[in-house]
Structure 1
Amino acid sequence: MSTTFVSPIDKLWPTERPMLRNVALVLFGTLLLYASAKVQVPFWPVPMTMQTAVVVLIGMAYGWRLGAATVVAYLAEGAVGLPVFVGTPERGIGLAYMVGPTGGYLLGFVAAAAIAGWIVQGGHGLARMALAVTGGILAIFVVGVAWLSVLIGFDNAIVHGVLPFLPSEIAKILFAIAVGVGMFRLRRQA
């Protein structure tokens, strides 16, 4: 017997007009991604943004389809020149920025939201949340390093595109797991 996945958003905001709700959610999600790119937390060895955590949380909250669509909308905003990414407009905007060193990580956001959303469809326990968050963030780094390797070589991509971010990513993984568990507990209570 198969059951239909009900995302936390479906449970907290049921509607007869899902298209209007989904447009509002996509806009809200792109605003969260924008804010998470612009607010930096001092962290060693590089400042931390909350983008990777927000990406996987959007996927888990919205479900894989709407989560991925939200990230695609965010990328489209950036592609047309809105300064929504980390370091924009100072380091460029639009497609020129997106094909730079961070382009692969941005593309990995789509995979991360879809993976995180897809994994939580099968359950909402702590192990499933940990798998969703970790799997989503790993997807970001796999796609990011693949692209960065084209630009600067694999060894340099690891040294500059992974290692400096490990401490902050571990912190964000723990944070996103805790928020994810809380989000699904709230859904059960609604």
Structure 2
Amino acid sequence: MALALNDKVLTEAFGPSEGTALRVKQAAMVILGIAALAIFAKIKIPMWPVPITMGTFAVLTIGAAYGPRLGLATILGYMIVGALGFDVFASSSAEAYGISYMMGGTGGYLVGYVLATLALGFAARAGWDRSVLLMAVAMLAGTALIYVFGLAWLSVLYADKGAAWVIGVGLTPFLIGDALKLGLAALLLPALWKLIGNARS
């Protein structure tokens, strides 16, 4: 069954909707989105077995809030900023940055970020961001995309280590934290839509 991709996404529910003012709003949203991605990537919350980083939370929520086109522009802008050498990724630093960092173990996950942003954007365009259940399904699909490409790239880089090592390093330590982030993100978008509806009623 094809999705009906004609619903508004969250960022289209407020502010100008046409002309130059719309373009200014969209440019501002892209800049704010890139800044949010960079800031959230650096947030680490103590957790077992590894700290929770909030980068994937920002990727998924921005994808859903912005829609496929604006979301894609934002995540690509974020990647360009990182490729230029700015310290905007979760584990980048003054010593590890830019293209060389992006081609390392994080590279596949970054590709997954782009595809997850698109997936969440299309899901929101189909109206899934109004439902906690459907938003959870979309968030799960987006998270799966991030892992598929992340683990695939780790398998290429560390072909001699074997699949069990790749999964043990690149998947299982993060499952608890990602489940918590997924649940929070799935609750957030429908709640924001409800707030907007209440404000206009």
TM range (shorter): over 0.9
* Bigger Rg, which one: 2
Which residue type is aligned with residue 182 of structure 2?
A: I
Unmatched 5+ stretches in structure 2 = none
Contact 2:75 2:114 in 1 (8 A): yes
Give RMSD over aligned pairs: 1.6
Contact 2:151 2:166 in 1 (8 A): yes
Among 125, 135, 139, the alignment partner of 2:141 is 135
Contact 2:5 2:122 in 1 (8 A): no
1:14 corresponds in structure 2 to 16
Alignment of 1:148-159 (within 5 A): 148-153=154-159, 154-159=163-168
SS for the counterpart of 2:52 is coil
Q: What's the CA shift for 1:91?
A: 5.0
SS for the counterpart of 2:45 is coil
For 1:183 and 1:138, the matched residues in 2 are separated by 24
1:45 aligns with 2:54: no
1:159 and 1:141, CA in 2 relative to 1: closer, same or farther beyond 3 A? same
Contact 1:8 1:187 in 2 (8 A): no
1:183 corresponds in structure 2 to 192
Q: What's the CA shift for 1:187?
A: 3.5
1:85 aligns with 2:94: no
Contact 1:149 1:157 in 2 (8 A): yes
Greater shift, 62-71 or 148-157, is seen at 148-157
2:152 corresponds in structure 1 to 146
Contact 2:68 2:121 in 1 (8 A): yes
Which residue type is aligned with residue 176 of structure 2?
A: P
SS for the counterpart of 1:72 is helix
SS for the counterpart of 2:112 is helix
Q: What's the CA shift for 1:120?
A: 2.1
Among 127, 132, 143, the alignment partner of 1:126 is 132
For 1:73 and 1:185, the matched residues in 2 are separated by 30
Q: What's the CA shift for 1:59?
A: 0.8
For 1:10 and 1:134, the matched residues in 2 are separated by 24
Greater shift, 5-14 or 49-58, is seen at 5-14
For 1:163 and 1:10, the matched residues in 2 are separated by 37
Q: Percent identity?
A: 36
Contact 1:61 1:183 in 2 (8 A): no
2:169 corresponds in structure 1 to 160
Q: What's the CA shift for 1:181?
A: 1.6
Unmatched 5+ stretches in structure 1 = none
1:173 aligns with 2:185: no
Which residue type is aligned with residue 81 of structure 2?
A: E
Contact 1:56 1:132 in 2 (8 A): no
1:63 aligns with 2:72: no
Give the TM-score of the pair, scaled to structure 1: 0.93
Q: What's the CA shift for 1:13?
A: 2.3
For 1:175 and 1:90, the matched residues in 2 are separated by 31
